[in-house]
């Protein structure tokens, strides 16, 4: 037809910017323009909150005191660090002003009940802000099975020499105050002293209550059966004998008073556990001076109990995330995408960023709504919620959101690998949720449960654990009690590792395969 070749076409469109931002813009437009996906995320947020509310709805607190009277305030006291604590012990004390030191020789610590002394039964000397529960303190003590310890403010714990005490091998303890600094020392003979440690209790008033104490925690027996393990326990008491009790420095000796901190008012009677025949003290006590521990036996709720709906939201998010890529494969749209953006690794990265961002925001909103809402409902029903620091709460809320985001990226990466929605959805739900189900609600022994939460993507749920594990508190730190074998960030890193690995394989396959 036309013989002469016309001039090649020159577009008059302004050249656009080149960069990752455009890819993000394109993927974001892709995501927001499919109503089903947006609806899926809204549904994820709604079920997260709704399922979360099931917990308090299905919980109740009933308490009756002796003779059928309603029991009083059951909210646990709060320690100086803001954490819930258990603070109950027998205390033989007198007010002490300014600097000085207190010394005592512990000659025996025995359990008053059948199984013998509890491993964490405690007896020793303590300097405490007041006899009010939860007040600050520093204490030097001997324990049932954990040797000499210097403890302070419930969470602080420094180990001294091991070994139990007996009349044949007594242990001398000394606690010295110098301003805000407290030094704990121990000795086997009262002459050669070794410093166990030094702690600082800032803001402690000049006058504190100091003296001798004894405590013995509850005895815990765990039985495991299907449908979760059950804990049984009972209170125990211990008796300690002190000799050579002395006050040095500016502390004059005045009269000793016996009290049960956290117990019925009226003080310790001579029979109840405080005897002072000839300078020798015998103190019997029950209870413990420790941070409170969550678990199945606890009547208090953790904040992550209110986030149980995250598991439901997670499933919805996994479905949406898998579809975000597999829908392109199903329709052949992936070719359009890759023809428009031939740098395939960047396409996958853009998808991951968009998906991560939208699911993070979804999770953040859902978690930030769930925790106060569930907490309010729990308090309305008379349940107590363990207080946690603002930083911990932030970590739990943002962690729940990040959990959704990383799981979504994992699902998207697996979807890229298998190119089918059904395979991707099943694989990721089974990999992330099933190990958790098996760990908290099956016949598996604790060791196997912990293995699952250490090595499978379900390890990531650790990011929502708000209550730390204390080595100085004997309790069931099992997955079913809400304790993960890995620290929150380490567990989350395991999940991230899986996501990164999957994303790497997906990028490799996407680059190598024909579209």
437-456 residues in contact with other proteins (CB under 8 A) are 437-438, 440-445, 447-448, 451
We find the least distance from the C-beta atom of residue 248 to other proteins, in angstroms, to be 51
With CB under 8 A as the contact rule, the residue among 99, 341, 361, 500 that binds other proteins is 341
Could you tell me which of 78, 468, 121, 107 has the C-alpha nearest to residue 304? Answer: 468
Residue 182 or 436: the one with the smaller Cβ distance to other proteins is 436
Alpha carbons within 13 A on the beta-carbon side of 110: 10
Angle among Cα 262, 295, 164 to the nearest 5 degrees reads 60
Rounded Cα distance, 50 and 369, in Å: 10
Would you give the DSSP letter of residue 272? T
**Helix, coil or strand: residue 245:** strand
User: Would you give the end-to-end CA distance of the chain in angstroms?
Assistant: 38
Largest CA distance in the chain: 127
Q: Are 134 and 80 in contact (CB under 8 A)?
A: yes
Region binding other proteins by CB under 8 A among candidate stretches 18-26, 98-106, 148-156, 202-210: 18-26
CB of 15 to other proteins, least distance (A): 7
**Counting contacts by CB under 8 A, is residue 380 touching other proteins?**
no
* Cβ 1 to other proteins shortest distance, Å: 6
Stretch that binds other proteins, among 109-117, 424-432, 486-494, 495-503 (CB under 8 A): 424-432
* Region of 100-108, 112-120, 201-209, 333-341 interacting with other proteins (CB under 8 A): 333-341
Q: Describe the chain by its helix, strand, coil percentages, rounded to 5.
A: 40, 25, 35
Which of 42, 272, 338, 493 is in the footprint of other proteins by CB under 8 A? 338
Residue 305 interacting with other proteins (CB under 8 A): yes
Q: Which stretch binds other proteins (CB under 8 A): 51-59, 77-85, 166-174, 243-251?
A: 51-59
357 contributes a contact to other proteins by CB under 8 A? no
Question: Which of the residues 193 through 232 are near other proteins (CB under 8 A)?
Answer: 223-228
> Does position 9 bind other proteins by CB under 8 A?
yes
Q: Rounded CA gap, 190 and 172, in Å?
A: 6
Between residues 78 and 308, which has the closer beta carbon with respect to other proteins? 308
In the complex, minimum distance from the CB of residue 78 to other proteins, in angstroms, rounded to a whole number? 22
Examine residue 430 and tell whether it contacts other proteins (CB under 8 A): yes
339 binds other proteins (CB under 8 A): yes
- Helix (H, G, I), strand (E, B), or coil: what is residue 384? strand
The number of residues that bind other proteins (CB under 8 A) is: 94
Specify the pairing of strand 384-385 against strand 300-301.
Answer: parallel
Cβ at position 155, least distance to other proteins in Å:
25
Q: Does 436 bind other proteins (CB under 8 A)?
A: yes
What gap in Å lies between CA 283 and CA 257, rounded to an integer? 12
Give the nearest distance from C-beta 451 to other proteins in angstroms: 7
Q: Are 339 and 20 in contact (CB under 8 A)?
A: no
Residue 282 three-state SS = strand
Binding mask 273-302 for other proteins (x = CB under 8 A): --------------------------x-x-
Using alpha carbons only, give the angle 57, 61, 62 rounded to the nearest 5 degrees. Answer: 135
């Amino acid at each position: 037809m036309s013989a002469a070749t016309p001039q090649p076409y020159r577009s008059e469109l302004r050249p656009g910017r080149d960069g990752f931002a455009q890819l993000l813009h394109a993927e974001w437009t892709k995501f927001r323009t499919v109503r089903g996906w947006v609806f899926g995320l809204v549904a994820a947020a709604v079920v997260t909150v709704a399922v979360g509310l099931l917990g308090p709805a299905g919980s109740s607190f009933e308490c009756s005191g002796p003779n059928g009277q309603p029991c009083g305030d059951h909210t646990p006291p709060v320690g100086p660090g803001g954490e819930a604590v258990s603070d109950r012990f027998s205390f033989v004390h007198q007010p002490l002003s300014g600097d000085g030191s207190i010394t005592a020789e512990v000659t025996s610590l025995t359990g008053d009940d059948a199984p013998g002394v509890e491993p964490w039964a405690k007896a020793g000397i303590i300097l405490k802000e007041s006899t009010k529960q939860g007040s600050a303190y520093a204490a030097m003590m001997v324990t049932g099975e954990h040797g000499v310890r210097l403890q302070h403010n419930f969470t602080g714990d420094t180990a001294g020499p091991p070994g139990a005490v007996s009349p044949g091998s007594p242990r001398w303890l000394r606690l010295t105050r110098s301003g805000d600094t407290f030094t704990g020392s121990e000795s086997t003979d009262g002459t050669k002293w070794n410093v166990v440690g030094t702690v600082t209790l800032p803001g402690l008033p000049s006058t504190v209550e100091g003296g001798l104490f004894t405590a013995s925690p509850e005895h815990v027996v765990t039985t495991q059966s299907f449908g979760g393990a059950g804990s049984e326990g009972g209170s125990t008491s211990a008796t300690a004998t002190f000799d050579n009790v002395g006050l040095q420095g500016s502390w004059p000796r005045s009269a000793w008073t016996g009290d049960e901190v956290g117990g019925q008012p009226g003080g310790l009677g001579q029979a109840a556990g405080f005897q002072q025949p000839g300078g020798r003290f015998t103190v019997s006590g029950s209870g413990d001076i420790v941070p409170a521990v969550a678990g199945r036996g606890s009547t208090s709720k953790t904040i992550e109990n209110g986030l149980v709906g995250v598991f439901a939201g997670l499933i919805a998010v996994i479905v949406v995330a898998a579809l975000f890529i597999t829908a392109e494969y199903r329709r052949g749209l992936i070719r359009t995408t890759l023809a428009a953006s031939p740098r395939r690794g960047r396409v996958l990265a853009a998808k991951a960023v968009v998906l991560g961002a939208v699911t993070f925001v979804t999770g953040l909103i859902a978690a930030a709504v769930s925790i106060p809402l569930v907490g309010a409902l729990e308090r309305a029903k008379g349940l107590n919620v363990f207080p946690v620091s603002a930083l911990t709460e932030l970590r739990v809320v943002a962690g729940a959101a990040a959990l959704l985001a990383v799981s979504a990226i994992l699902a998207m990466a697996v979807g890229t690998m298998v190119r089918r929605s059904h395979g991707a959805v099943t694989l990721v739900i089974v990999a992330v949720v099933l190990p958790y189900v098996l760990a908290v609600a099956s016949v598996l022994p604790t060791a196997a449960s912990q293995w699952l939460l250490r090595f499978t993507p379900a390890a990531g749920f650790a990011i929502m654990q708000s209550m730390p594990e204390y080595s100085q508190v004997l309790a069931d730190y099992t997955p079913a009690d809400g304790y993960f074998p890995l620290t929150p960030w380490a567990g989350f890193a395991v999940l991230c590792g899986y996501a990164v690995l999957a994303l790497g394989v997906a990028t490799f396959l996407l680059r190598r395969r024909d579209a």
